[in-house]
Chain A
Amino acid sequence: MPLIWLIAIILVLAAVGFVMGRTRAVASAGGDARIMHSLPSYYGWNVALTVITPAFGLLVLWLLVQPLWIENRVSAQLPEAAIAEDTTRSLVMTDVRRVAGGLQVLIDTGTMSEDDVSAMNTEDTDVRERLGDVGVALGSNVEPSVMAAAQSYREMTKRGSALMAVGVLLVALGGFAMAYILTNKDFRARNTVERGILLVLIAAASIAILTTLGLVLSMLFEARNFFAAHPWQDFFFGTKWAPDFRGNSELAILPLLWGTLYISLIALFVAVPVGLFAAIYLSEYATSRVRSVAKPAIEVLAGIPTIVYGLFALITVGPMLRDYFALPLGFGESSSSVMTAGLVMGVMLIPFVSSLSDDIINAVPQAMRDGSYGLGATQSETIRQVVVPAALPGIVGAILLAASRAIGETMIVVLGAGAAAAQFDRGLGELVNPFQAMTTVTVKIVSQLTGDTDFSSPETLVAFALGLSLFTITLGLNVLALWIVRRYREQYE
């Protein structure tokens, strides 16, 4: 039985359970919903969930365990001799799985009957050719031992699937019966259902934690290798970024960090005022027609691939800034500059600020505005002194999101600000010159990971150390932001 059918049957069973559970509960109360503990639909949900949860739980578990178990059994069955010198057991198993899959295809396409396939062996038939005919390509001819293993693999899989179907259906029916019997008007159905839902919510929230854990762990190991090969003092306190193929590179995070901060800051200087004013205008002043067009239009800005922005920076903005600002003002003659990348990135970030802020400003209760108008405030005064403070936590969230994107962006920086790190040894003037080329931590993480350097050398591994450091630094900034929000938040109502 195909799995999709099994799932469908369980779902149908759940649906039936919903209707029957509900009916039974209402009947037990004599049709009077008022004397029931919960609303009638909760009784239905209770039955449906009791059908689905254990049945699907078993299904999932079975599907995860069965291949492992069969793999182990079949693998153990392979004689030592079947594993040639230059290969491994797992590779032979790949072949076994491929042949087993091919045999199943032979049956599914109707080329051979079930019995023929079971009787098939490598001496009488050219299995490779046979399978090739139905589109299953094999890398080499099939060894008898592999064929035997494949046969039993197929058999076991078939038997396992049948057993699973029976088991899962039994569990589903059992759940059905139990929940159905428990159902009567005094059963605390709502509490049960709500407890179940709460568990799901908690599970969802913990995914974020698990992700962080995964991220840190996947970087930690390689970062440790980096610090084993490169002195940490140089990395954290050095002032020069100069990787070198021949080793003894200078890999310091500070120049990159400075570039990251500078570029993000300029980007936010563009995005926050523009985005915020756009949000205010759209939610407070604009007619609904304008709003319904302008808001999604601005959101499109977030969806334009960053390479388009990058080329825009490289071809248009960079040379323009150089010719009209940097050269006349004597700030240098580089066409890639912090300013270029910052301005262009700012444009990209506008929707992050505007769209989210707009929704949040929109959600500030009208009563607060009316109260302010009633006191004689003009609309702009109301916005500045009532609406924005009330929406502040959300707005800060939006700005943080924009800042996060700014830190994580690569393409715009590479094309707009170049790939050369900031130079601390050239003095403060060069360092704060916005028309100077600079680059960010993220750019270097990407380029060191995707370059041609030796992957076990510090030049590549530094990417992991950079990633981990950036992670820690942004964590600090986020803690700060949380504190600021708590401190200045204006809670109304």
Chain B
Amino acid sequence: MIDTQPPAFIFIAGAILLPFLRERRLRRVFQLLIPVIAFIDLLYMPEGTYWIYNFLGYDLILGKVDKLSMCFGYVFVIMAFLGMVYALHVRDTGQHVAAFLYMGSTLGVTFAGDIFTLFVFWEIMAISSVFLIWYQRDMAALAAGFRYIMVHIFGGCSLLAGIIIYVSNTGSTHFGFIEYGGLASQLMLLGFIINAAVPPFHAWLSDAYPEATVTGSVFLTAFTTKSAVYVLLRAFPGVELLVWLGAIMAIYGVVYAVLENDIRRLLAYHIISQVGYMVCGVGLGTEMAMNGTTAHAFSHILYKALLFMGVGAVIQVTGRRKLTELQGRNLYKQMPICLSLYMIGAFSISAVPLFNGFVSKTMVVAAAGELHRPIIHLLLHLASIGTFLHTGLKLPYGTWFGRVPEGEKVEEIEASEPPLNMLVAMGMAAFLCIFTGIYPKILYNILPYPVHYHPYTTSNVVAMMQLLLLTAGAFWLYIDKLGGEATISVDTDWFYRKPGMLFLWFVSHPLQNLRVGLQHLLSRTVANVASLSKNPILLPEIAIRYIHLRIINRFYHIFGLAEDKVEELKELESRYDAIRKITYDKDVYRRPIGLGVLLAIVLLFLYGLVYFFTSR
């Protein structure tokens, strides 16, 4: 028996060791080795609850292993390997470290058996992932990253508030099924659905993912939303609210995808749409729906990564990311392999038979049918149409083929197939998409419940083909209207972006002016008082002398004052002016106090530390 370790720690150890590997070839081998080790580790992990550590009277459980967490664990580790292959050419070690931390913390969430462990990994996940956005190193990425992290911190706070209320109400820190109802569960649910990008809390996803680095966005698509789906499956199955949120979410993403011009943002809206199926499946809560959700998360991670790899390759070689800049340039001639592999992903997400979307998505839809939910069933069906329309038809047509609008000049763009490692990663993802599509048993065997669903019935296949082919027919009619438009679409991020700008203006203009005025007034007073108080005993004497001279000066104005008295008065006046002119210099007045305070804090801290260790 091999001694297994928490898979989260394997990745985090990888993140710590990676910067020490200077030799590039060695580093690459190491990057690929970590997911492989983690996968072997998963294979040897027995079912059960273990890796329990006592901390401050609470049990931290790092290993809650059952079929549900295992299924997510497998796909996360597979995805880690694929993403690492895709990112192998990237020389920024920092990006790889962020990716490893991100993947490790996701696995930590997946196998967390108590809510404290869950929360800690949840936060590491948010903080490490934002670096995959910031490494793009431009202003748009920086701003989008800040918006991303602020939304996630808000979600994390909501989750923490819910956890605290939950623990103080029930006394249990065990992470499992949570009865929905009451503030604690609502706050926790809010934290979860923010990470699952459920509208109206979804805008962080479509805002930030397209700004990330080409390789970073591939990692981002896989982990945050799917780990949120996992915790929802674990804690809130059968919550009716999620059924409707999920179905609306599936349509919502589709509507915005019609309007989108940025190719990665279009795909980001389809993540929202696809996660809608999963959230809906969680809400339906039957064994079949839960199986469908798990299977769809598994499939989704693979095909969505493949799609992001495909468009990422286009962005990598052309430097362009908008349909309006790509259509009509006939890139298919220069990158046919990339296009073919992308299309495998597109067929998978569209649930074309023989691809993995078909064996998982139809299960969720069928679960809605089995529960006789007509509106949900139709909404999910409608979203399927939109999925094929955009990722299967509009995006590849606009990116690799397309027509230039009349009157616009077409310049030649240099393009070629992307680096080999990118193609290899895409090839492996494509293989897995087709393999699980043709042989769904391998996926069904690892689902949490026994599967009694058969996707490949003739009527099922025929119905899906009708749906997709006639969607393509309608696309043909509208082909010219569906080209990119050089616009952006306002989404719910409007509610924090526009008022945010107003707030910034308020802070930087009226509030700042008020501060400057107040500081000026107060600092001058302080400076005057400080100067006068240097010799307080002499102060009354000088004041009396000064007033005395002024009075004499008044009286004897006509006759004139003695020479020496005039001199003295002038000198006193100039001294008075000098005092008035002193301005506040923060360095003179702050430093001695600042140093003292700092020393006091340091000593207090050391004292506290000593007290803490000696009192046990």
Are A and B bound to each other? no
Binding site for B on A (CB under 8 A): none
Binding site for A on B (CB under 8 A): none
